[in-house]
Amino acid sequence: MTKKELLVKCPTCGHKFNYHDSEFRPFCREKCQLIDLGRWLEGDYAIPCSDPIDEAEKTDNDNDEESEN
């Protein structure tokens, strides 16, 4: 059986590589995988919200959670 060739760009560095040859998919190498993990852990990735929560609402929700425990 022949290996398929699917050239893709690494989302971290942009390097083109064969997707099926990398054990760090969708990244080209471990370094790029770890850079992406670091970005997640630092909170660099976020989902935008259309209606930000008011501070008063946040405080009310926190109080509700405490009373349930």
pLDDT digits (tens, 9 = 90+) for 4-26: 899 999 999 999 999 999 999 99
Cα 36 versus chain centre, distance:
7
- The upper half-sphere exposure of residue 25, i.e. CA atoms within 13 Å in the direction of its Cβ, equals 9
Looking at 3.40.1280.10, 3.20.20.150, 2.60.40.10, 3.30.50.10, the CATH number of the domain 7-68 comes to: 3.30.50.10
Mean residue pLDDT of the chain comes to: 83
Q: pTM, whole model, 2 decimals?
A: 0.60
Residue 36 vs residue 62, higher pLDDT: 36
CB 27 within 8 A of CB 12: yes
Map out the domains of the chain as residue ranges. 7-68
Confidence of residue 62 (pLDDT cuts 50, 70, 90): low
| Contacts of 20 by beta carbon, 8 Å cutoff, 6+ apart | 3, 4, 5, 6
